[in-house]
Amino acid sequence: MTHFPATRLRRPRASDWSRRMVRETALTCDDLIWPIFVKEGTSITEPVKSMPGVNRLSIDKAVDAAKEAADLGIPCIALFPNTPDTLRSEHGDEALNRDNLINNAMRAIKDAVPSIGLLADVALDPYTSHGQDGLVQDGKVLNDETVGILVQQSVLQAEAGADIIAPSDMMDGRIGAIRTELDKAGFSHVQIMAYSAKYASAFYGPFRDAVGSTGVLKGDKKTYQMDPANRLEAIREVEQDIAEGADSVMIKPGMPYLDIIREVKDTFGVPTFAYQVSGEYAMLLAAAQNGWLAEDAVVLESLLAFKRAGADGILTYFAPKVARLLNG
């Protein structure tokens, strides 16, 4: 047999130039959204213990980070506040302070780096004394009452300069309610990226450390965040958020949920983002720091996998590192 095997799939893999030609997926700086933790004060760069290389930054330092992001070609940053305990309350009132940490940070960044996209997370957990994303009554997280607050929080964030409002609270009906209020308040140009399929995940641990809600959270978030066992429900969540006016949707966490990303992208074809969450970051770095994984290679591979799964972009704490690697 002269033709054994007739097809040799190794042939196009044989050299670098050829692999480059047949490559199906690419990762670029345009795919990156960088989540940044903000803290009160000045000149503060405070390491997050469970996330080596990630810091809580005071506003002046966050402005520097935004400049760095813009210089690296990262299109968008996402801001999360580390709210002092003294400002946390039962109803999360600080969320509706127009001069709270996150709103002040956005104004400062917009002023200094107008070219960068600003994503603002909408939920009450950075502000509540119980750490839940919504209002709690008799041990239950209230839906409609919480949405009433989230719409106000969203409008204040838009006023402060948010380009994308990203509700991460998982209350029912919040996307439509927020869209309506944003439009009424003159912010019809502000996008909504819905955390549509956000799972009640154990991978958020280090994030709660970063924003200071680890010791604060009572109970879990299973009555609003999704059950990791469910796939069809994720499709219904996404479908609903698109119908309510979401411009883009997000799947979270990332790596353990690549199947959901693929299915959402194939089903709806809308801009689809993934969040490589704090626990995924911690996991990869811990192994790398032990010398058990090659850090750069494993980080790049993990992000490429999101693209292959259908994601249009990834929220990742590796964003500046990866941008530097990609810019070579």
Residues annotated as catalytic (active site), given as ranges: 198, 252
Between 17 and 147, name the residue whose CB sits nearer to ligand PBG. 147
Q: Which of 27, 94, 102, 121 binds ligand PBG (CB under 6 A)?
A: 121
Work out whether 306 is an interface residue with ligand PBG (CB under 6 A): no
Residue 145 is labelled as binding a ligand: no
Report if residue 94 touches ligand PBG, rule: CB under 6 A. Answer: no
**282 contributes a contact to ligand PBG by CB under 6 A:** no
Residue 125 in the binding site for ligand PBG (CB under 6 A): yes
Long-range contacts of the stretch 85-93 (C-beta < 8 A, 24+): 85/212, 85/216, 87/127, 88/127, 88/128, 88/129, 88/216, 89/127, 89/128, 89/129, 90/128, 90/129, 90/130, 90/136, 91/128, 91/135, 91/149, 92/124, 92/125, 92/127, 92/128, 92/135, 92/149, 93/127
**C-beta of 143 vs 168, nearer to ligand PBG:** 168
- The dihedral region occupied by 291, where left means phi > 0, alpha psi between -120 and 50, and beta the remainder, is left
SS3 state at 134: coil
Residue 102 interacts with ligand PBG (CB under 6 A): yes or no? no
CA distance from start to end of the chain: 47
**What is the residue type of 233?**
E
Cβ atoms of 224 and 134 closer than 8 Å:
yes
Among 39, 76, 119, 133, indicate the residue that binds ligand PBG (CB under 6 A).
133
Does the footprint of ligand PBG cover residue 31 (CB under 6 A)?
A: no
Buried b (16+ CB within 10 A) or exposed e, 300-315: bebbbbbbebbbbbbb
Q: Which stretch binds ligand PBG (CB under 6 A): 118-126, 174-182, 305-313, 319-327?
A: 118-126
**# residues near ligand PBG by CB under 6 A:** 11
Rounded to 5 degrees, φ, ψ at 308 are: -60, -35
- Asked if residue 37 lies in contact with residue 210, where contact means CB atoms within 8 angstroms, the answer is yes
Pick one of 79, 123, 149, 264: the residue that binds ligand PBG (CB under 6 A): 123
Task: Decide: is 278 part of the binding site for ligand PBG (CB under 6 A).
Answer: yes
Ranges within 229-268 binding ligand PBG (CB under 6 A): none
207 binds ligand PBG (CB under 6 A): yes
181 binds ligand PBG (CB under 6 A): no
Cα(193)–Cα(221) distance, integer angstroms = 21
Query: What's the sign of the alpha-carbon dihedral 260, 263, 268, 271?
Result: positive
Q: Which is nearer to ligand PBG, 123 or 141 (CB)?
A: 123
Nearer to ligand PBG, 94 or 125 (CB): 125
Stretch that binds ligand PBG, among 82-90, 92-100, 144-152, 204-212 (CB under 6 A): 204-212
Q: Which is nearer to ligand PBG, 67 or 148 (CB)?
A: 148
- Per-residue interface string for the shown chain with ligand PBG, residues 135-174, x marking contact by CB under 6 A: ---------------------------------x------
- Are residues 150 and 178 in contact, defined by beta-carbon separation less than 8 angstroms? yes
Distance CA 273, CA 313 (A): 5
Q: Which is nearer to ligand PBG, 9 or 154 (CB)?
A: 154
Q: Which residues does 287 contact at the CB level (< 8 Å), separation at least 6?
A: 293, 298
Which residue ranges make up the site for ligand PBG (CB under 6 A)? 121, 123, 125, 133, 168, 204, 207-208, 221, 277-278
Residues flagged as binding site for Mg(2+)? 237
Residues flagged as binding site? 237
